[in-house]
Chain A
């Protein structure tokens, strides 16, 4: 117990990085996921096909492998291209890139489904009233896509929050790595792994509550009187 108190500041440090990584992943992943979804829906066959190939690849291999490929593989490629050690792939960049790519690949499917579920007439009415294509997208389509995609996004968020633990492998000082270090130094792995588990559990339960509220708010229009 004393150990836990002593190492708590360290764990909290790690927690901050974990949260930063998870939130950045979701924000970047949503933007990239939206772009991938639009690419898949594009009239240009080559663009749609490339997007499908990319996301199927990302979804089809272990996330761990994506991380290793970007961290070690990326370093190798950059060293070959620019000379050894000119540009380094930092654990942060590698972790953020890997998690974002995987998040975006899954999110693109969720968003694509939501996009197709918004009735065409909604957009047509917007255009008929003089909304530009961009306005129709932003004001009429996007809020409805958001509402439909929200449950799926919530699941992805939860998954990617937990997957941040993978990044400790490449040396990012996240919650997992800090817990590991504490466990090794104090020789009390059960205590520290349990502590990390509880912190993750609190985070996921909290985010579930937040997403439930968001979903409720977004589906006000579904309520019948």
Chain B
């Protein structure tokens, strides 16, 4: 369960194993070798000031950004990469697509498909990627929309919903894939303050259910309550990590201490 990081039994298998991810944009090295192992049911909060590379790190895991080096394993399966013209590229795009379908991502800007109804947004990937038949996809979608509290919006279009509602639909879209790990890229950063809590509440429930989640966030209170493990990135490196309450109470790094005092004022 969430929040019991250090005392969790050792035999819980690792769901996502990410090793030494490196990434540069031009001459700017954004990630200088970041590793992370998330066991099943872990909720990992990834913090860092803007420009610390935390979103890039998340996007390297599902290869929305192609890392320059490092390894990603989902349930032991390595995403195979190969060299091409001095660059690392996926060796098998089919494998990447398959792994991506097991790693649902929730975006800062929601990225709901604008031309589809809410229901279609939640069924599309089930049908086209997982190959589910329409009927079971719709059933699944309805259940997930009800779970996040927007079942009544099924026939609407994304543009007709508030940001908070859109993000909850995006979470339903992610859940409908029965993902093994969920990736959240600053899910509340684009929301009006009064809409943040409805999304955080849904995420807290998911954490309590034992979902494996990686969350890039600025919500310190949420991270402390919901996360089992916390990573603080600074200039492309892991500057501090550990169980949230411990490292937030006693930061090992001066940078993290400054970050905390800056964000808790």
Q: B111-135 vs A: 1/0 string, CB under 8 Å? A: 1111110000000110011100000
Q: Pick from B111, B112, B116: contact of A124, CB below 8 A.
A: B111
Chain B: CB-nearest residue to A224: B160
| A125 and B114 contact, CB distance less than 8 A | no
Please give the distance in Å from B102's CB to the nearest CB on chain A.
8
Q: Is B105 an interface residue (CB 8 A)?
A: yes
Interface contacts (Cβ under 8 Å), in number, total 76
CA distance A100 to B175 in the complex (A): 46
Q: Is A152 an interface residue (CB 8 A)?
A: no
Query: Which 7 residue pairs spanning A and B have beta carbons closest together?
Result: A130-B101, A125-B111, A221-B157, A129-B125, A121-B111, A130-B129, A128-B105
8 CB-based A-B contacts, threshold 8 Å:
A119-B114, A125-B112, A128-B107, A130-B97, A130-B130, A131-B128, A135-B128, A140-B113
| B160 and A127 contact, CB distance less than 8 A | no
| B98 and A143 contact, CB distance less than 8 A | no
| B101 and A124 contact, CB distance less than 8 A | no
Please give the distance in Å from B98's CB to the nearest CB on chain A.
7
Please give the distance in Å from B81's CB to the nearest CB on chain A.
17
Q: Is B36 an interface residue (CB 8 A)?
A: no
| B115 and A124 contact, CB distance less than 8 A | no
Q: Is B156 an interface residue (CB 8 A)?
A: yes
CA distance A106 to B208 in the complex (A): 56
A133: chain B residues at CB < 8 Å are 93
| B125 and A131 contact, CB distance less than 8 A | yes
Q: Pick from A128, A139, A221: contact of B159, CB below 8 A.
A: A221
CA distance A119 to B107 in the complex (A): 13
Q: Is A147 an interface residue (CB 8 A)?
A: yes
Please give the distance in Å from A197's CB to the nearest CB on chain B.
39
Q: Is A225 an interface residue (CB 8 A)?
A: yes
Known contacts A127-B64, A135-B128; A225 and B156 CB within 8 A of each other: yes
| B157 and A220 contact, CB distance less than 8 A | yes
Please give the distance in Å from B67's CB to the nearest CB on chain A.
16
A225: chain B residues at CB < 8 Å are 156, 160
| A128 and B114 contact, CB distance less than 8 A | no
Q: Is B52 an interface residue (CB 8 A)?
A: no
| A129 and B100 contact, CB distance less than 8 A | yes
CA distance A224 to B124 in the complex (A): 23
| B100 and A128 contact, CB distance less than 8 A | yes
Please give the distance in Å from A151's CB to the nearest CB on chain B.
16
| B62 and A139 contact, CB distance less than 8 A | no
**Residues in A169-225 with C-beta less than 8 Å from chain B:** 220-225
Q: Is A68 an interface residue (CB 8 A)?
A: no
Q: Is B66 an interface residue (CB 8 A)?
A: no
B107: chain A residues at CB < 8 Å are 121, 124-125, 128
Known contacts A128-B105, A129-B177; A139 and B128 CB within 8 A of each other: yes
Q: Is B167 an interface residue (CB 8 A)?
A: no
| B129 and A131 contact, CB distance less than 8 A | yes
| A222 and B159 contact, CB distance less than 8 A | yes
Please give the distance in Å from B48's CB to the nearest CB on chain A.
21
Q: Is A132 an interface residue (CB 8 A)?
A: yes
| B100 and A127 contact, CB distance less than 8 A | yes
Q: Is B163 an interface residue (CB 8 A)?
A: no
Q: Is B56 an interface residue (CB 8 A)?
A: no
| A223 and B160 contact, CB distance less than 8 A | yes
Q: Is A168 an interface residue (CB 8 A)?
A: no
| B62 and A128 contact, CB distance less than 8 A | yes
CA distance A144 to B114 in the complex (A): 8
**Residues in A84-104 with C-beta less than 8 Å from chain B:** none
| A224 and B159 contact, CB distance less than 8 A | yes
Please give the distance in Å from B161's CB to the nearest CB on chain A.
9
CA distance A125 to B174 in the complex (A): 10
